[in-house]
Amino acid sequence: MAESKTTYIQSYCRIQNNEIILNGDSVFKLEPTTFSDFSKKAIQKFEISYPKFFKMDNLSKLAFLGAELLLKSELDAATENNTALIFSNKSSSLDTDVKHQNSISDKENYYPSPAVFVYTLPNICLGEISIRHQLKSENSFFIFADFNPKFMEKYSTILLETNKADKVLCGWVEYFNEEYKAFLYVVGTQGELDHNQELLKQLYN
């Protein structure tokens, strides 16, 4: 039986309403604008150089941006890192699915785009993050009606206790029709914030 480990929330990020909150502090905020404009300016603000970002769908952009802010100072992109990814949302990839469906429903202008189709699975955003940070560890994407702190806390703790991961990046990344919210956090065996369901609820809100 695996040794019981105390786990901690090492860092967290919330992205919503044209604002980024990093570890409790507002680090970037814009007047009301589109998510596309907001994400582009955020990338510029934090000097994130990654041309492929602009080809991603909005769900992947949202997840990528949050992950970048939490992982860029922790991981060496040149080496393999044992950080697991556990994400969830309620709309899956519906925003992109609708765009894809529209492209094949228009008989007058029938041209399904491969660039859109490739993002019609929610877990593609995990692939984008894994490529960026050279992650080959466990990753899963779950669909829940709402953020599920009980499930996320138990799953991430099991991964750490069984040494399946050194750290776990957990996240709720919801995007549909310009309504979006991301709550991402890193869980590890060292830190100051106790990793528990009540604290997750507080940080999420």
Distances (CA, A) of 97 to 90, 145, 177: 14, 18, 11
Angle between helices 197-204 and 149-161 (to 10 degrees): 120
Mean pLDDT of 99-125: 62
Contact between 82 and 189 (Cβ < 8 Å): no
In this prediction, residue 72 carries a pLDDT of 83
Contact between 64 and 41 (Cβ < 8 Å): no
For residue 13, report the phi and psi dihedrals to the nearest 5 degrees. -145, 140
Handedness of CA 11, 14, 15, 21 (dihedral sign): negative
Mean pLDDT of 143-151: 96
What is the pTM for the complete model shown? 0.87
In this prediction, residue 81 carries a pLDDT of 77
Q: What is the pLDDT of residues 152-193, one digit of tens each?
A: 999 999 999 999 999 999 999 999 888 999 999 999 999 999
In this prediction, residue 178 carries a pLDDT of 84
Distance CA 181, CA 158 (A): 26
- Least-confidence region, from 93-97, 104-108, 141-145: 93-97
Q: What percent of the chain lies above the pLDDT cut of 70?
A: 80
3-state class percentages of the chain: helix first, strand second, coil last, to nearest 5: 40, 25, 35
Band (140; pLDDT cuts 50, 70, 90): very high
Mean pLDDT of 43-56: 93
pLDDT exceeds 70 at position 132 = yes
